[in-house]
Structure 1
Amino acid sequence: MKYSKFVLGPVLMLSLMLSGCGMQSIPTALNEVEAAWSEVLNQYKRRSDLIPNLVSIVKGYAAHEKETLQAVVEARAKATQTQVGSDQLTPENVNKFAQAQSGLGSALSRLMVVVERYPDLKANENFRDLQVQLEGTENRITVARNRYIQSIKGFNNLVTVPPTSWYNSLFLNHDKKPQFSVENEAAVKQAPVIEF
């Protein structure tokens, strides 16, 4: 009996200490990262699904703008080919994905510049509806990326800051997850020059 008290006491104490060290925090945070990444993918997929309709409407009004339309179609194809599952979140994979999505965003921006030359197209109700949906989707992408960034921050803190990092290094061995980064940080840091 006395022997069981000596064994039971340390086991109980160890289990209490481990529960206080965030034993369940790291897997919970990992689940949040995976869910946030899935939402990012979902919103990019939504944007990608809107593009064929947008291209077909523009094609009807601006048939001679084939170069711009082709660039959008190719950027969409590249963006849909570059998929990164939540189990493949390495800095390289996230960077490839971000570059493909950035290429699609640039192609869409060029398409919107072309649209400015066609007042009849801008007046088309279907085009306006698609433009509003695309704008809403871009906002959703921003929100999803922000949620992903916040979940990554929480997860990375758990795997690098004691005492949860001790538990991680002893039992789980999770690495930090990569952040979404801006394609050209130097250009973003520099304020735009506005001349009147």
Structure 2
Amino acid sequence: MAPLPARSTLTRTLLALFLPLALAACGINSVPTAEENAKAKWADVQASYQRRADLIPSLVAVAQNAAKMERGTLEAVINARASATQVKLSADDLSDPAKVQAYQAAQANVSGSLSRLLVTMEQYPELKSQDRFADLQTQLEGTENRINISIRDYNAAVQDYNTRIRTFPEMIGAKLVHGSKPLTPFQAKAGADTAPDVGAMFNGSK
């Protein structure tokens, strides 16, 4: 009877060594880590869009003060910005394609109206001579770059997470333990839905 306790101790030791490895292989830790990373990247996307929204009032003010802009063009930007700020998308909504698409559509509307405003402003040479206008140009260019980079990073994080929850053996922990759902990538669209080429517009390219 003496060997039994020894075997029992050995069994417990082996379980203590291999159980954490087995759980790790099943995505117990890696899946939520990947999900949190994707959500953090989404926060960067929102921050970049918020930065653009914060610049729009200054851009509109410069246009209003420096030239007799078409009222409809200015109102379109103001309304698009107001509508976009009403469309909220929390990190917990990223698994809902409809909500992601609604947020994307709202931001695309801002991009389109902002693009038309910048093209219109190009027709007023007196604007180009203003330091404030040049400063806004630089800030908008930087913001559009941030948006593109943050979307790229978010999509990469989403791809990593979605791959993990669909791939054996991590899919075991994803389904049985975490109840994980795929996250929705942010898709760029052609035409007016893309970020305006600020540099080209200010240089006279249409």
Task: Give the alignment's TM-score, normalised by structure 1.
Answer: 0.88
What letter corresponds to residue 90 of structure 2 in structure 1?
G
Given that 2:63 and 2:69 are in contact with CA atoms closer than 8 Å, whether structure 1 keeps it comes out as no
Deviation at 1:10, TM superposition (A): 6.4
Where does residue 99 of structure 1 map in the other structure? Answer: 105
Where does residue 117 of structure 1 map in the other structure? Answer: 123
1:18 and 2:23 are equivalent in the alignment: yes
Percent identity over the alignment is: 36
Where does residue 50 of structure 1 map in the other structure? Answer: 55
Given that 1:99 and 1:183 are in contact with CA atoms closer than 8 Å, whether structure 2 keeps it comes out as no
Q: How does 1:14-163 map to 2 (within 5 A)?
A: 14-89=19-94, 90-163=96-169
Counterparts of 1:53 and 1:5, CA distance in 2:
72
C-alpha offsets along residues 176-196 of structure 1, whole Å, 9 cap, x if unaligned?
1001113469x99xxxxxxxx
C-alpha offsets along residues 54-102 of structure 1, whole Å, 9 cap, x if unaligned?
0000011233411100000000001111120111111111111110000
What letter corresponds to residue 88 of structure 2 in structure 1?
Q
Counterparts of 2:183 and 2:8, CA distance in 1:
43
Given that 1:57 and 1:127 are in contact with CA atoms closer than 8 Å, whether structure 2 keeps it comes out as yes
Unpaired segments of 5 or more residues in structure 2? 195-206
How has the CA–CA distance of structure 1 residues 11 and 131 changed in structure 2, closer, same or farther, with 3 Å as cutoff?
A: same
Deviation at 1:3, TM superposition (A): 7.3
What letter corresponds to residue 53 of structure 1 in structure 2?
S
CA RMSD of the aligned region, Å? Answer: 2.0
Aligned length: 187
What letter corresponds to residue 126 of structure 2 in structure 1?
D
